[in-house]
Amino acid sequence: MQMQTDSRPMRLMVIDDEPTVGRRLKQVLSKSGFEVEVFTSPVAAVKRMAEEPFDIVVTDFRMKEMNGMQVLEKIRELSPRTKVIIITGYARIETATEAFRAGGFDFIAKPFRLDELRRSIFRAARALEAESPS
């Protein structure tokens, strides 16, 4: 498993079955200094995660092939250190609670403001840095 180093940007994965959401997030987050890969297929995203871990994953909750909880569980198995942020248009307290219990880092209801998501991602990045041995 790769440790965080100052020599590389944090790697961020975005999974959303709406291509426009992924494109927009990639634009914004790349400008913030992240190396961003976007997936419309959660199955392809999990395969990619198995090849090379990402530091932070932002995933939609409701998708056809696999839901956000299944994505979260697979990512936690592959890379327990990765911070997972779930975004959803179907926010319910029960779902958020379940996501946190399964190791999710944050749960954000759609529609959200980009700065709200960016703040969550920066909190996740700081948490990763704090966990890394100096």
Taking CA atoms, 78 is separated from 22, 54, 73, in Å, by: 22, 10, 9
User: Where do the domains of the chain lie?
Assistant: 11-128
pLDDT in tens, 25-63: 999 999 888 999 999 999 999 999 999 989 999 999 989
CB 97 within 8 A of CB 76: no
pLDDT in tens, 85-114: 999 887 788 888 888 888 999 999 988 899
Query: Cα–Cα distance between 99 and 120 in angstroms, integer?
Result: 15
What per-residue confidence (pLDDT) applies to 81? 94
CATH architecture of 11-128: 3-Layer(aba) Sandwich (3.40)
Mean pLDDT computed over 105-131: 92
Mean pLDDT computed over 79-90: 92
